Amino acid sequence: MTVETTAPIASPATDPTLVTPVTSEGQTARPVWPAMMKGLRHKCPKCGKGALFSAYLKVVDSCENCGQELHHHRADDAPPYFTIFVSGHIIIPLMIVMERIWEPAMWIHMAVWLPVTLIMCMALLPPIKGALVGLQWAFRMHGFEYDEEPADASGARTGSS
């Protein structure tokens, strides 16, 4: 019986490019989930400290903490779509359970579920929009791709700064 030997597995200690991943365009990769979670909390996807919204759904032009430009995001119809998707998957099963257990009149369904649905959608819309702005920032979409200097293959910043 022979045992085959393989090359050692790369680790951050042996390969510096694993510490700072670099995209095919030579830019450092951005963490997706942390950026989305920062947006979910209405914070800047880059620093996590500055406010993301200046009003209910109005995204600030730039972060007051780190200066990250946010005005060029393109959330468009995605936040309402995902809000309806999430709230529908919560409200519809509850409506079915209520109907099966109590069999209330239609006006009772309307009196209960219309306000609950409206409140849920209004509460979910800003966090979902923030998460989508964070996703766009992490994937360098819609103007976010030009925010930083490109990195070389080792992850080091290039440029004159």
Only one residue has tokens 């600030």, namely 60
Q: Locate tokens 């406010």: which residue? A: 51
d(CA 114, CA 139): 36
pTM: 0.76
Hey, what amino acid is at 90? I
Which pLDDT score, from 0 to 100, does residue 143 have? 82
Instruction: For the chain, state the CA radius of gyration.
Output: 23
To 5 degrees, how large is the angle CA 9–CA 10–CA 16? Answer: 170
Query: What letter would DSSP give residue 62?
Result: B
Mean pLDDT of 90-106: 97
Convert the pLDDT of each residue in 110-156 to its tens digit: 999 999 999 999 999 999 999 999 999 999 998 887 765 444 445 44
Alpha carbon distance 64, 33 (integer Å): 22
Name which of 22-31, 34-43, 90-99, 119-128 the model is least confident about.
22-31
Spatial distance between the Cα atoms of 15 and 62, rounded to a whole number of angstroms: 35
d(CA 120, CA 84): 9
How far is residue 84 CA from its own chain's centroid? 17
Q: In angstroms, rounded to a whole number, what is the distance separating the alpha carbons of residues 140 and 154?
A: 20
| Averaged pLDDT score across all residues of the chain | 84
Task: Using pLDDT thresholds of 50, 70 and 90, give the confidence band for residue 9.
Answer: low
DSSP 15-60: -GGGTS-B-TTS-B---HHHHHHHHHTTB-TTTS-SBSBSSSS-B-
- Lowest mean pLDDT segment, chosen from 21-25, 60-64, 150-154: 150-154
